Structure 1
Amino acid sequence: MSFADILRPVTDFLELGGPVVALLAVLSVVALAVVILKLAQFWLERVGRPGRAEAAVRLWGHGRHREAWQALGDIRSASEEAVAIALQAGEAGTVDKALVEEEIARAATRRLHGFNRGMKALDAIAQIAPLLGLFGTVLGMIEAFQKLQEAGNAVDPSLLAGGIWVALLTTAAGLAVAMPVSLVVTFLESRIEDEKVAIETLASAVLLQQARGARAADPLADTEAGGFERVANAH
């Protein structure tokens, strides 16, 4: 079987569906490429997998600072970067919580923006694909009824039925593109949300541990540490 024979069903389908189906095919290829890139990015940067960051925070809380850094390993995820910034502030004895939080927020915003890149394109494809399919169906129905009118008294029911099923083909194609893309967008957005929660909770946990340590070492810092805890808990 030649390559042309393999592609023949695809070309026949595109010819049958018309330009709308061809456009949906292009959108499906674009969506597939973006999905592959995003999945690879999320896997490499461990988005939504804060296991290392959580282990580092637990070890840091037990005073095992060297092991905490070892648990982070090669820092790739946004939550790991946020925890690393908090750990560095703890080692340096930084007491200006606002500056540390600002640095964490800056790093998190940059990383989260990178995670969201391409998501709007996928969301747009998921929304426009069914509309394109419906548009193709409406055009097909118009064409079918035009042929029915031209036939006059010699109406052939098979002519109308054939035009209708070809018209409905575009709706099916639009839904076939939109449904999996919508599921992938939902999955990726949930991973981003998990990463965002991990950044906020884990970095705040390290800063809270640091505040408690400073309060234990200096009784005069009790008031300052109390405010520190309240802000951390609010995050």
Structure 2
Amino acid sequence: MLETLTNYQMAFAGGQLAELVEKGGVVVVCLLVLSVLALTIAFTKLFQFLMLGVGRSARIQRVTDLWQAGDRQTAYAIMRGERSPVARVLEHAMAAMLHNDVPSALVREDVERIAGRQLTQLRRFFRALEVIAQVSPLLGLFGTVLGMISAFQAMSAAGAQVNPADLADGIWVALLTTAVGLAVAIPTSMLLAFLESRVDRERAAMEDQATLLFTNGLKPDTSKIAA
């Protein structure tokens, strides 16, 4: 019984999709392709962020505290086992700082290079999501314009015998592409905003932890400040 119900639901969904493609034409097909592409990128980026532990910096903070406490070799060994972008940056900084013959300015510059590389990898495919979010409503509007042109051409050909029901049906079909375009663009925009916020937080964590590493958590001596 359950298998029969599932098959019926799949057949119904397939019929709905086929009807949507039939009424919307090539524009709807293009929008569906864009939606599949956006969904593929979404799963890819979410899986990447999950595997790298993006946004989870509590353990990194504990390792940084261990470094500041003076146990640098242990902190470096633990950091090498981490996979997050912040850990990759700090590991590179620790490896350079353990060699006292490397100037601090060169270490900072190279750490910035590694951080930029890590952030670039996290932002990969963001441009594609941005293009999909911008193009989808425009493509839907383009389909609507084409549909309205066809509807008014049919009305002009019918002359005085135009059927309002047929005109309404043509306008409904024309507006369908705009609805599909917005249905693709809105979730894509929300996903892009979410991913960008996670990357921004990761960048802030990189800057914060790297600064603590270089300054060793220095604090101003307020005792020397006149009251």
Same fold by TM (over 0.5)? yes
Q: Which amino acid aligns with 1:170?
A: T
Matches within 5 A, 1:90-105: 90-93=97-100, 96-105=103-112
In structure 1, distance between residues paired with 2:120 and 2:183: 29
Tell me the CA shift for residue 206 of structure 1. 0.7
Q: Which amino acid aligns with 2:33?
A: V
In structure 2, distance between residues paired with 1:58 and 1:25: 50
> What residue is the counterpart of 1:86 in the other structure?
93
> What residue is the counterpart of 2:175 in the other structure?
168
Matches within 5 A, 1:59-70: 59-65=66-72, 68-69=75-76
- Preserved contact between residue 52 and residue 72 of structure 1 (Cα < 8 Å): no
Change in Cα spacing, 1:69 to 1:95, as seen in structure 2 (3 Å) is closer
Deviates more, 1:71-80 or 1:41-50: 71-80
The equivalent position to 2:119 in structure 1, one of 99, 112, 116, is 112
Q: Which amino acid aligns with 1:146?
A: Q
Change in Cα spacing, 1:70 to 1:110, as seen in structure 2 (3 Å) is same
The equivalent position to 1:185 in structure 2, one of 186, 192, 196, is 192
In structure 2, distance between residues paired with 1:94 and 1:38: 39
> What residue is the counterpart of 2:3 in the other structure?
none
Q: Which amino acid aligns with 1:141?
A: M
In structure 1, distance between residues paired with 2:52 and 2:59: 12
- Preserved contact between residue 55 and residue 71 of structure 1 (Cα < 8 Å): no
Residue 85 of structure 1: SS of its match in structure 2? helix
> What residue is the counterpart of 1:218 in the other structure?
none
In structure 2, distance between residues paired with 1:54 and 1:123: 33
Q: Deviations over 1:170-227 (max 9, x none)?
A: 00000000000101101111111111111111111111018x6xxxxxxxxxxxxxxx
- Preserved contact between residue 80 and residue 87 of structure 2 (Cα < 8 Å): no
In structure 1, distance between residues paired with 2:105 and 2:215: 13
The equivalent position to 1:17 in structure 2, one of 24, 46, 63, is 24
Q: Which amino acid aligns with 1:39?
A: L
- Identity over aligned residues, as a percent? 44
> What residue is the counterpart of 2:145 in the other structure?
138
Tell me the CA shift for residue 94 of structure 1. 5.1
Change in Cα spacing, 1:94 to 1:50, as seen in structure 2 (3 Å) is farther
Which consecutive segments of 4 or more residues in structure 1 shift more than 6 A? none
Deviates more, 1:134-143 or 1:51-60: 51-60
Tell me the CA shift for residue 135 of structure 1. 0.6
Tell me the CA shift for residue 98 of structure 1. 1.0
Q: Is 1:202–2:213 an aligned residue pair?
A: no
The equivalent position to 2:130 in structure 1, one of 104, 118, 123, is 123
In structure 1, distance between residues paired with 2:74 and 2:59: 11
In structure 2, distance between residues paired with 1:163 and 1:74: 62
In structure 2, distance between residues paired with 1:171 and 1:105: 44
- Preserved contact between residue 34 and residue 132 of structure 2 (Cα < 8 Å): yes
Tell me the CA shift for residue 10 of structure 1. 1.1
Matches within 5 A, 1:217-228: none
Q: Report the aligned-residue RMSD.
A: 2.0
Q: Is 1:44–2:51 an aligned residue pair?
A: yes
Q: Which runs of 5+ in 2 are unaligned?
A: 1-6, 219-227
Q: Which runs of 5+ in 1 are unaligned?
A: 213-235
Tell me the CA shift for residue 61 of structure 1. 2.1
Residue 161 of structure 2: SS of its match in structure 1? coil
* TM-score, normalised by the number of residues in structure 1: 0.82
